[in-house]
Amino acid sequence: MTLERTTGRPARSSAAFREAGALGWARRHRAALAAAVILVFPLIAPFKALAVLILVYGLYALGFNLLFGYLGVLSFGHSALFGAGAYLCGIAFVHFGAPWWAAIIVGAVSGMIVAAIIGALAIRTRGIYFAMVTLALSQCVYYLFYEAVGWTGGENGLRGVDVKTIDLFGLHLDFVDPLTRYYVLAAFVIASLFVLSRILASPFGAVIEAVRENEARARASGYNVPLVRFVAFVLSGGFCGLAGALLALHLSIVPIETLHYDTSGLVVMMSLLGGMGTFFGPFIGAAIFLMLENLVSLWTVHWQLIVGAAFVICVLFFPRGLWGTLLERLEK
């Protein structure tokens, strides 16, 4: 394993961390700041249910961004990781009577397992093939879950992921209350933020970015590039699987749409709208996307037209996304 051969952080990352001024301070404490935003958010959000969705899809986008933004690999099959997390969490809860926290762990782990299978096949191809292969394999996962009606409920989705109350350290929490639910799920998301921030600040995080910036040089420096890709894909699967599990608990049903191609496309849009390769950008992208969807669908059923156009404009004129463009302005 060549990953351990890193000696110290490459210049780019350490410079970013030693940066002076307000921006440097914000960057060092990015996970804590993001956590603060998440804690305050439901108090200002108009609809609590929407806030929970933003939380879940934000985590999904963060996991995707690890791959797309930091490693520079575009996957169009992330619905398989998200959906597998949701379904396996639901199956553990409904069919095996697992407690809610164990079901969440099962979801995150199954996201990683599915990512390992898809990743092992997809990293055999390089560059642009990756998007096509991941899309095709996620389609395969979709059909497998669709056909396994006994376990998954097929077309109707998996029903009965009902968590009513949560007993934790003597606390008795009402999970039906939207605000309580938000904060219970937020605990998982905030923990993920700290883990993700730690991964990105680690030597491995620097190697990920090195592969994105110059694959040939990374390989020449002795890093095992396919292994880096594989590990990043599996880690991404863990975050996305966790997000799926949280969605299952929130909706108390796992709709088959979680595995659909559109769910893969959704996270691509969210990440790009917010700003790929920035720490909190994907989360903001998820918030913008979901609020836009909610607002636009108030006056037209054809919200996809508006969202699609916004995405195309973003690709053409703001490739760094809204948050990324904002950060760029601040740095100047």
Q: Is there a contact between 275 and 323 (Cβ–Cβ < 8 Å)?
A: yes
Helices (H), 175-302: 178-201, 203-213, 215-220, 225-251, 261-274, 281-299
Q: Is there a contact between 64 and 196 (Cβ–Cβ < 8 Å)?
A: no
Least distance CB 295 / another protein (angstroms): 16
Binding pattern for the stretch 103-132 against another protein, x by CB under 8 A and - elsewhere = ------------------xx-xxxxxx-xx
Binding pattern for the stretch 60-89 against another protein, x by CB under 8 A and - elsewhere = --------------x-x-------------
Count of positions on this chain that bind another protein (CB under 8 A):
37
Q: Is 23 in the site for another protein (CB under 8 A)?
A: no
Residue 194: what residue type? F
Q: Which stretch binds another protein (CB under 8 A): 233-241, 251-259, 262-270, 281-289?
A: 262-270
Residues 6+ apart with CB under 8 A from 24: 16, 17, 18
Least distance CB 234 / another protein (angstroms): 18
| DSSP reduced 3-state for 158 | strand
Least distance CB 305 / another protein (angstroms): 4
Binding pattern for the stretch 132-161 against another protein, x by CB under 8 A and - elsewhere = xx-xxx-xx--xx--x--------------
Q: Is there a contact between 145 and 282 (Cβ–Cβ < 8 Å)?
A: no
Among 81, 189, 272, 288, binds another protein (CB under 8 A): 272
Q: Which stretch binds another protein (CB under 8 A): 36-44, 103-111, 196-204, 299-307?
A: 299-307
Least distance CB 291 / another protein (angstroms): 18
* C-alpha to C-alpha distance for 133 and 115, rounded to whole angstroms: 13
Q: Is 214 in the site for another protein (CB under 8 A)?
A: no
Residue 259: what residue type? L
Q: Is there a contact between 62 and 200 (Cβ–Cβ < 8 Å)?
A: no
Return the C-alpha torsion angle 284, 289, 294, 300, nearest 10: 150
* Backbone φ and ψ of 222, nearest 5°: 100, 10
| DSSP reduced 3-state for 301 | coil
Residues 6+ apart with CB under 8 A from 262: 79
CB-nearer residue toward another protein: 92 or 115: 115
Q: Which stretch binds another protein (CB under 8 A): 20-28, 198-206, 234-242, 309-317?
A: 309-317
* Backbone φ and ψ of 166, nearest 5°: -125, 125
Helix pair angle (225-251, 78-94), 10° resolution: 50
Least distance CB 315 / another protein (angstroms): 5
Among 84, 254, 269, 287, binds another protein (CB under 8 A): 269
Residue 216: what residue type? A
Least distance CB 220 / another protein (angstroms): 14
Q: Which stretch binds another protein (CB under 8 A): 43-51, 53-61, 86-94, 303-311?
A: 303-311
Among 36, 179, 191, 305, binds another protein (CB under 8 A): 305
Q: Is there a contact between 226 and 123 (Cβ–Cβ < 8 Å)?
A: yes
Least distance CB 150 / another protein (angstroms): 12
Q: Is there a contact between 282 and 58 (Cβ–Cβ < 8 Å)?
A: yes
CB-nearer residue toward another protein: 179 or 312: 312
Least distance CB 262 / another protein (angstroms): 8
Binding residues (CB under 8 A) for another protein: these are: 74, 76, 121-122, 124-129, 131-133, 135-137, 139-140, 143-144, 147, 261, 265, 268-269, 272, 302, 304-305, 307-309, 311-312, 315-316, 319
